[in-house]
Chains A and B, each alone.
Chain A
Amino acid sequence: MTALLHQIFSGLATGGIYASVALALVMIYQATHLVNFAQGEMAMFSTYIAWWLIGLGTPYWIAFLLTLAISFLGGVAIERIVIRPMEKAPVLASVSVFIGLLAIFNSVAGFIFDYQIKPFPSPFPSDAWYGSAFMSPHEVGEVMVTLVVLLLVYGFFRFTPLGLAMRASAQNPVSSRLVGIRVGWMLALGWGLAAATGAVAGMMAAPVVYLEPNMMSSILLYGFAGALLGGIDNPWGAVLGGFMVGVLENLAGAYVVGADLKLTVALVIIVGVLVISPAGLFGRPVVTRV
């Protein structure tokens, strides 16, 4: 029983990371109806920046916040420089750009920081009081950080004029312009927020999976599975989906398929959702009036 509970709780901890990635994917999906396949590599690159800052002697939480700020600006810059000119391009061209970004971030990270696997510190000491038999202090901290991020993102979108304007732009760009919203900048802001949210996922994952250019590739798949499972047009659903995938993955790995086939679980979820219920558990089915 303890073992089962331990598997569920540590599944929740990794699920928090998937939830953050899923949320980042949803933010961009809602505005553009495209899945940013480079989200994981962007997060990985952000994590390298954090690692570099910490290496310079910056205290962890200051490095953490600086990384969020840098990632935000980086996300905005990517939208302005790379994505903006693709505004009217066909979907396939945009997808190619995302995959291009993925490859670029991956190899640039390898080029700058080399491919050697590096340890990444956790801000939660392993002997902290909030650790238990079920969850290590890092896992508890990870879940807390995830929840704080989710609440901040929710509060921003729900209660601030800027958040409202971003939701409006995603839903109805034409009407948004007619009330004076600069829709292009709202998209850039969305990219910035997604990049910062992804950076949190990267920094929380790195102490567990270690820092290397491919650290996020499987996490992105799990995050994508979570977003699809919950419903990619619904932030709450996507977050819940992320946590569910974390638990499912852990239980399947421990009791059903074994560690080697864990990633397959994510792919099975992706294919299963797309085949059985493309809108996900909490998504809005797309109905077009003809």
Chain B
Amino acid sequence: MAAILETRALAAFYGSTQVLHQVDLAVEAGGITALLGANGAGKTTLLRALTAMVAVRGAIRFDGREIAGLATEDLVRLGIAHVPDGRGTFVHLTVEENLRLGAYTRSAKAEVAKDFERVFGYFPRLRERRRQQAGTLSGGEQQMLAIARALMLRPRLLLLDEPSFGLAPLVVKDIFRILRAINRDEQVSLLVVEQNANLALDLADQAYLMETGEVVMSGPADRIRGDESVRRAYLGY
């Protein structure tokens, strides 16, 4: 399969501190790629580097086009949606306004109206809470809202930063089931950052393992799962 996103020797910086080193990563078109690693390994930074939220050096190709150097706002217009860590909810706006903002870059009103129905199909709870202030939603509902907001863009690539963070196991199960459905039904490629390696390897077909700002292992999810050292360090059995 061809890669929809590819980085070559990607480095990222916070001020003068380099936090990513020589990252080569490929996200297959139509696939689900997991990005694993402990706290502080650089997973979130890598996602931020992909959407120009931190200073980067190196090459990033999206759909065959060099995109390093483009602004966040322009990457969005290419169809890259980023569900950031902490969910990025507009807490003082209503659920509906949050979703409308997700479709901010799209002009076809009729299609956007259809997409409201589409995302409410995935997340019926959001339809009930439509007029409610987003800040009053539970953590799980806010995560659903964040994913729904990203879907309103009709993205081709969806970057998810720890969608399971702080949520009850049942809610997480639900969200991951929906993510799989989204990947299947919408032909959206996913890049999922997760600390919960078990969960991520179940969902993904490809996986990368990061340590201290570098990719230390990559390959099909099954093979990563079978690796002795991964099993001991990240899967806990």
Contacts from A to B (Cβ < 8 Å): 161, 164-165, 167-168, 171-172, 174-183
Contact = CB atoms under 8 A, between A and B. Distances in A.
A180 B76 contact: yes
Interface of B: 51, 53, 71-73, 76-77, 81-82, 84, 88-93, 97, 100-102, 104-105, 149, 153
A183 B90 CA distance: 14
A179 B93 contact: no
Contacts of B71: 177
Question: Which of B76, B89, B102, B104 counts the most chain A CB atoms within 10 A?
Answer: B104
B76 A178 contact: yes
A161 B88 contact: no
Contact of B77 (A161, A171, A176, A180): A180
Contacts of B88: 172, 174-175, 178
A164 B101 contact: yes
Given A164-B97, A171-B91, A171-B93, A180 B104 contact: yes
Contacts of B93: 164, 167-168, 171
B48 to A, nearest CB: 10
B51 A178 contact: yes
Question: Which of B90, B102, B105 counts the most chain A CB atoms within 10 A?
Answer: B90
B104 A181 contact: yes
Given A168-B90, A171-B91, A174-B53, A180 B100 contact: no
A180 B74 CA distance: 7
Question: Which of B90, B101, B104 counts the most chain A CB atoms within 10 A?
Answer: B101
Contacts of B73: 177, 180-183
Contacts, number: 60
Contacts of B53: 174, 177
B84 A180 contact: no
9 contacts: A164-B100, A165-B104, A177-B72, A178-B82, A179-B102, A179-B104, A179-B105, A179-B149, A180-B105
B104 A175 contact: no
Nearest to B149: A179
B84 to A, nearest CB: 6
Chain A to chain B: the 5 pairs with minimum beta-carbon distance, closest first: A180-B76, A175-B88, A180-B105, A177-B72, A179-B101
B101 A181 contact: yes
A172 B72 CA distance: 14
Question: Which of A161, A172, A178, A183 counts the most chain B CB atoms within 10 A?
Answer: A178
A196 to B, nearest CB: 24
A161 B72 contact: no
Contacts of B97: 164, 168
B59 to A, nearest CB: 22
A169 B217 CA distance: 39
Given A178-B76, A180-B76, A180-B77, A171 B101 contact: no
B90 A178 contact: no
Contacts of A180: 73, 76-77, 104-105, 153
B69 to A, nearest CB: 15
Question: Which of A168, A171, A177, A180 counts the most chain B CB atoms within 10 A?
Answer: A180
A220 B102 CA distance: 38
A186 B81 CA distance: 21
A168 B72 contact: no
Contacts of A171: 90-93
Contacts of A161: 100, 104
A178 B72 contact: yes
A172 B71 CA distance: 17
A275 to B, nearest CB: 27
Contacts of A176: 101
A171 B81 CA distance: 20
B64 to A, nearest CB: 21
Question: Which of A164, A182, A183 counts the most chain B CB atoms within 10 A?
Answer: A164
Contacts of A182: 73
